[in-house]
Structure 1
């Protein structure tokens, strides 16, 4: 009997020790979980926050980069050169034009009693303009006058380009509206707006083409001048030549005056008739 009680007492003690150990293990696990929880929170809090994703709206509102426009410089010039022989000088000019890839846009020749003039309008690539002017200054003749000018049209070109781009955008919007227009009135109004925009776009495109042409090809107005030598024994203008010139000019003036009087012959015929009628009227008035 004693042995049975001892056996039961041992069993109860072992159960108590197990339960105590289980409680202790559970408590340690709870404590560990309590201690580890703040660390997890700290780790999450200290983790870097990723940047927000850009939405389509943000991309749409971001400014777009515009292409930069190179500077637009228009160079023009005027030169007057005195030469000894017009034909020889013209041959030299043609050789200079070929070497600088230039061409003659307009040519005009004048031959008077005192001089010969050959006026040329030359178009030359912008990069060869200075070389062309220097060639004319050095090897053709004596430069009487030279005027070179540069005009910066970058601001105008940029302004026209921006307006042109906006007009094209509006044109596409009007075309979309035309496809969905329901009434005849709306269709006519939209078509009128489209027509006006197309005209404005044509004008802007023409202006840009004109500026590009003037920028890419510079213009030089070249005048070749030759003074004629007076025919005289001394090759100088002396008293005899001046006396003959004065007689010639006097005779020409007299002929011009005489021809001018003759051109007034209708008035010369009317004056006697008017005088005759006036005297006849006065005589009748006195008789009365």
Structure 2
């Protein structure tokens, strides 16, 4: 009886041990399989863009304004004050004069949150705009795409750096460094594009052109001034006439000789 009891206990112990070993082997296999699946599964596509919320949209705002003013200096001072209040700055300032127009062109950059406020401040005192254009360019998709590409390139660079540390010979090192150089170039390009987009999104651009028409006024002249001007004009006419004669004097001599010989021939003919 005792021998039978010991046999049963030994059988139960061996069964429990086999069960534990099977369970541990199953867990290790599942873990290894999951790791292999992670390694073999393709990375998420870079071009797959998740549309952000409305408040996270990346918008580039640009404004173009053109109008006439009666006082260039006051208008310029008002624009400068509006830019200062909006924490903006002047990127370009150009002034000049056409045939009948004095103009000034200004390009300013203001924080995007102050864009409309600056437009409204500039519009004060303007009767009408020859041109008023507000453009909004949505670059959210490009912004997200460049950010994802940059993240992927940084991760790829880290993996190549780890491979470089494990390189066994010079050939492997050169191949890895060549790949690293290309990856770093792509990273710098993506960083530059991302910085450009961030600047354009955070700081809006406003192109302002204003002008003043210059009218030439004719001053009234007194009667004496008119006489003096008439005498000057007559004298200028006489001078022009004699100067013209100097230009044609050879022809006048030929005409005079022709008349002289013709009259002389006519007199001889009458005597005969």
TM-score (norm 1): 0.57
| Conservation of the 8 A alpha-carbon contact between 2:90 and 2:106 | yes
The Cα of 1:58 is off from its aligned counterpart by: 6.1
Q: Which residue of 2 aligns with 1:96?
A: 82
| Conservation of the 8 A alpha-carbon contact between 1:157 and 1:211 | yes
The Cα of 1:200 is off from its aligned counterpart by: 0.7
Q: Is 1:121 aligned with 2:107?
A: yes
User: How far apart, in 2, do the equivalents of 1:155 and 1:57 lie?
Assistant: 36
Q: Which residue of 2 aligns with 1:186?
A: 172
For 1:195, which of 181, 190, 199 is the aligned residue?
181
**Which stretches in structure 1 are left out of the alignment for 5+ residues?**
1-51, 235-288
For 1:75, which of 51, 61, 65 is the aligned residue?
61
The Cα of 1:55 is off from its aligned counterpart by: 6.2
Alpha-carbon distance change, 95 to 225 in structure 1, aligned in 2, over 3 angstroms: same
Could you say what the CA RMSD is over the residues aligned between the two structures, in angstroms?
2.8
Structure possessing the higher radius of gyration over alpha carbons: 1
**CA-to-aligned-CA distance 1:45-85 (integer Å, 9 cap, x gap):** xxxxxxx9x96986996x99x99572100010111021111
**CA-to-aligned-CA distance 1:245-280 (integer Å, 9 cap, x gap):** xxxxxxxxxxxxxxxxxxxxxxxxxxxxxxxxxxxx
For 1:112, which of 98, 122, 139 is the aligned residue?
98
For 1:227, which of 197, 203, 213 is the aligned residue?
213
For 2:130, which of 141, 144, 152 is the aligned residue?
144
- Secondary structure of 1:232 counterpart: coil
User: How far apart, in 2, do the equivalents of 1:102 and 1:165 lie?
Assistant: 32
Aligned ranges 1:45-60 → 2 under 5 Å: none
The Cα of 1:91 is off from its aligned counterpart by: 0.8
Q: Which residue of 1 aligns with 2:13?
A: none
Q: Which residue of 2 aligns with 1:166?
A: 152
TM-score (norm 2): 0.60
Q: Which residue of 1 aligns with 2:204?
A: 218
Aligned ranges 1:1-40 → 2 under 5 Å: none
Q: Is 1:85 aligned with 2:66?
A: no
Alpha-carbon distance change, 176 to 118 in structure 1, aligned in 2, over 3 angstroms: same
- Secondary structure of 2:124 counterpart: helix
Q: Is 1:133 aligned with 2:125?
A: no
**CA-to-aligned-CA distance 1:86-124 (integer Å, 9 cap, x gap):** 111111111111222221111111123311111111101
- Secondary structure of 1:139 counterpart: coil
Q: Which residue of 2 aligns with 1:206?
A: 192
| Conservation of the 8 A alpha-carbon contact between 1:92 and 1:140 | no
User: How far apart, in 1, do the equivalents of 2:173 and 2:143 lie?
Assistant: 34
User: How far apart, in 2, do the equivalents of 1:72 and 1:56 lie?
Assistant: 43
Aligned ranges 1:263-282 → 2 under 5 Å: none
| Conservation of the 8 A alpha-carbon contact between 2:51 and 2:141 | no
| Conservation of the 8 A alpha-carbon contact between 1:83 and 1:142 | no
| Conservation of the 8 A alpha-carbon contact between 1:89 and 1:140 | no
